[in-house]
Structure 1
Amino acid sequence: MGVSWNSVFLETFYQILGWFAFSVWSFSFYPQVLLNYRRKSVVGLNLDFLVFNLTKHSSYLIYNAALFFSPVVQRQYHQKYGYNEEISGTKSHECEVRHHLVLQMIPVAPNDVAFSIHAVLLTAFTIYQVFIYERGTQKVSKTCIGITVAVWGYAAISLIIAWPDGSWLWLVTSFNLIQVVMTAIKYIPQAWMNFTRKSTEGWSIGNILLDLSGGIANFMQMGVQSIDQNSLKNFYGNIGKLLLSLETIMFDIIFTLQHYVFYLKTKVEEDKIPNEDALARLLNESAKENDEKI
């Protein structure tokens, strides 16, 4: 029996949540891009975050695309997770008990693939901005380089192991694991940078508010599918998507508190201090007034 929804309402709600998550997560990249453009500077944006983010989204794209488009990977998924046994008939000598195998839904939706593609492109564009705008003394740390090389080395080894036996589901699950780990790692440099600077200046809170909305919608989408299918297999069959949502929500709450609670006073105080250009204009105007009086 093929994969089907039991409730039209839940199916519609699932699609709405999915594309809402895609929209807000996709738009969440633009506030930082626009902020960089207006300031002609990336000072305040942690470069390690960008490198980790590109690795994370590239890994997630490989996982989502493989599971959504590859019949081989889908077949291996169903062999491991994909069958619920339905029993019809009654347990009596007069009636035969019939068993039906019902396929579980693939836990990757079209919006997941679309988001991954968009995320890789926008992250790459933000890295491009690093090269063309002022970045001060900021640079990618040796720790970040070491972690990134180790992660892609792990991916290469996984490919070598999976190739002989055709263990493609295991391979793409390895990429899903990479994106889970990188999601946790990528937020830490920016959170620590905000903490040490005691400021969130130069870093867009709009990105985080949209990111938080997407994380909540993504988690709700998995819940809706689980309710409809009366199964938790879509949660542990795609543990990466589950942990991605939970990690996103947790870190975005931390960033929101940093911006609106912990370091709000610092930002207000900085806004009250005139910058050098404004101060120069004030001095020039004052000098002109004095000359006119003379």
Structure 2
Amino acid sequence: MDPELGTFLSHVLGWVYFIAWSASFYPQAILNWRRKSVQGLSIDFIYLNVLGFLCYSIFNLSFYLSSEVQEEYRKRNDGQDNLVRANDVFFAVHALVLSSFTLFQTLIYKREHGQRFSSPARLLIVITILGTGIVFAAVISGSSQWIDLLYYLSYIKLGISFVKYCPQVYLNYSTQSTVGWSIHNILLDFTGGTLSVAQLVLDAYISGNWSGISGDPVKFGLGFVSIFFDLIFMTQHYILYRNREDSYAPVSMVESNGEEKKKGLLLLPTYTKLNYMTFQHEDGAQRTPEVMTDLEMGAGENRPSSQH
């Protein structure tokens, strides 16, 4: 293959996978916002996702920007440059920001009773932090290099990428539903994972440096882990659990025969809002606005005034 053509194709694959993988974070955040709920979404997955992308961001930023790390890599790989590209850096940082935003949503939106950050996931994060501290101390003492710490962080990311999906797979299985888990997120993630692996293999082929794959194991592993779990989620969504009824969405209240009733949904929102309807007394005086619940508003918000 012509080197210039190969380089061009590599850049195209890189930016397309970056767009697909980056866009994959938005459907879940939008779904949470529209439902005002994170019910059906694994809290463990969200916390582990943030930790994983924090590690991945540090790894990519260091390999792309640090001349010291780049030199350490060359010494270990026969003078070859590492294969971290600008799109890898942008993707990792963007993913960290979006996953952190989704974590924030889990703190403000409605959850299921008992839907919380589990003890095993907490323990995993504590062990990860302690291990990072030990490797960092080894670097400071001179017994290890910075690249060793970065590889450790990359292995954390790879390990978390495998573990983090398991709670969501189990949650879908236990509820026999994928409601609350965005399938558009999965489709985009599958596209990004496939193209990410394709770019890495193409880069290695063009440069004749197949050690570039082993030199960036996290990118190669992430692609295959994403593809594997995405196939599981697509199987759950399109084949196993095809019931799409969302019992977690806000209740729509309607007036029927003078009585309020729920319209095909199960949960009653607890939000309140000001009722600015005008009520006039016989003497012509107007009542001040009242704070009423959505349930109370359902029966009266379409009547602008009422005579006593």
Letter in structure 2 aligned against 1:198: Q
**Secondary structure, aligned partner of 2:254:** helix
Q: CA deviation at 1:6?
A: 6.5
| TM-score, with length taken from structure 2 | 0.79
Kindly indicate whether the alpha-carbon contact (under 8 Å) linking 2:35 and 2:250 is maintained by their aligned counterparts in 1. no
Which residue of structure 1 aligns with residue 18 of structure 2? Answer: 22
The residue correspondences of 1:1-294 to structure 2 (distance < 5 A) are 7-81=3-77, 83=78, 103-137=79-113, 138-165=115-142, 167-264=145-242, 266-267=243-244, 270=245, 277=251, 281=254, 283-284=256-257
SS in 1 for 2:209: coil
Counterpart amino acid of 1:125?
F
**Greater length-normalized contact order (CA 8 Å, ≥ 6 residues apart):** 1
Give the match's secondary structure for 1:107.
coil
Residue 208 of structure 1 contacts residue 255 of structure 1 at CA under 8 Å; is this kept in 2? yes
TM value normalised by structure 1: 0.83
Partner Cα distance (2:233, 2:42) in 1:
14
Unaligned runs of 5+ residues in structure 2 are 261-308
Shift of 1:106: 1.3
Letter in 2 for 1:80: R
Task: Return the offset for 1:77.
Answer: 0.5
Cα distance in 2 for partners of 1:190, 1:216 equals 21
Residue 282 (structure 1) shift: 7.7
Q: Deviations over 1:127-161 (max 9, x none)?
A: 11112211132110011111111111111111011
Q: 1:277 to 1:225 in 2, by over 3 A?
A: closer
Q: State the AA in 2 paired with 1:146.
A: L
TM-superposed deviation, 1:283: 4.6
- How many pairs were matched up? 257
Moved over 4 A (4+): 275-278
Letter in 2 for 1:164: S
SS at match of 1:281: strand
After superposition, the C-alpha distances for 1:66-116 in whole angstroms (9 at most, x for unaligned) are 1111111111101001x2xxxxxxxxxxxxxxxxxxx42312111010011
Tell me, which stretches of 5 or more residues in structure 1 are unaligned? 84-102, 288-294
CA distance in 2, matches of 1:128, 1:181: 23
Contact 1:26-1:119 at 8 Å conserved across structures: yes
Structure 2 equivalent of residue 86 of structure 1: none
- Retained in 1: the 8 A contact 2:25–2:98? yes
CA contact (8 A) 1:200 1:258 kept: yes
Of Structure 1 and Structure 2, the greater helix share is in 1
CA root-mean-square deviation: 2.0
Contact 2:63 2:70 in 1 (8 A): yes
Whole-Å separation in 1 of the counterparts to 2:28 and 2:62:
30
1:98 aligned residue = none
Cα distance in 1 for partners of 2:84, 2:257 equals 62
What is the identity, as a one-letter code, of the residue corresponding to 1:72? E
**Counterpart Cα distance in 2 of 1:261 and 1:167:** 48
Quote the sequence identity (%).
Answer: 33
